[in-house]
Amino acid sequence: MAGALGSSAFAGETLFSNYVFAVGPAGQNGALWAFSRDNSYSGVTLLKFNVADKGTVVTESTAQSQVETDTLTAVQDGIFEDDLAERRRIPAIYAGSKFGLVLPMFAMDKNDRYLRPAGYYTVRDLNNVIENPVDAPSMADDLDKPMQYTMSGFAYDSTAKRLWIARGALGVMVHDVSGKKSADTTFVLNLKTKKLERLKDNADLDLEKYPEIFDVRLHPETGDLWLATAKGIWVMSSGSLKQISDALKDSRVTGIWMGGKPLQIIAETAYKKKEDVIGGLWRIYGDKAKDFAKVNFLDTAGKVQKKDIYDEADYTVGDVAFIGKTAYVLVRAVGGSISGYLKLDSLGARAWEKDDDGKLQWLYGYETGATDRKAIITSMCSFPLSKNRTGLAIATYGNGVSVSADSGATWSVVLNRAKLSNNLGSIRMVPSVITPGDEALVSYKLGKESKITIEVFSYDMRKVRTIVKDVVRNADASRSSNPKEDFWDGRDDHGKDCTMGVYYIRVKDNHGHIGWGKAMTLGGNFR
CA proximity to 339, closest of 303, 367, 308, 381? 367
Integer Cα distance of 102 and 95 in angstroms? 7
Instruction: Return the SS3 of 155.
Output: strand
pLDDT at site 524: 67
Integer Cα distance of 376 and 371 in angstroms? 10
CA 63 to chain centre: 19
Integer Cα distance of 208 and 522 in angstroms? 47
pLDDT at site 418: 67
pLDDT at site 200: 85
- Report, as ranges of residue numbers, the positions in the chain whose pLDDT lies below 50: 1-12, 526-527
Compute φ and ψ for 87, nearest 5 degrees. Answer: -105, 5
Helix (H) or strand (E) holding 119: strand 114-125
Instruction: Return the SS3 of 311.
Output: helix
pLDDT at site 100: 96
CA proximity to 191, closest of 217, 212, 161? 212
pLDDT at site 9: 31
Integer Cα distance of 489 and 467 in angstroms? 10
pLDDT at site 489: 92
Q: Walk me through the domains of the chain, giving residue ranges and CATH numbers.
A: 20-414 (2.130.10.10), 428-521 (2.60.40.1930)
Integer Cα distance of 207 and 194 in angstroms? 14
pLDDT at site 294: 97
pLDDT at site 52: 83
Instruction: Return the SS3 of 148.
Output: helix
pLDDT at site 54: 74
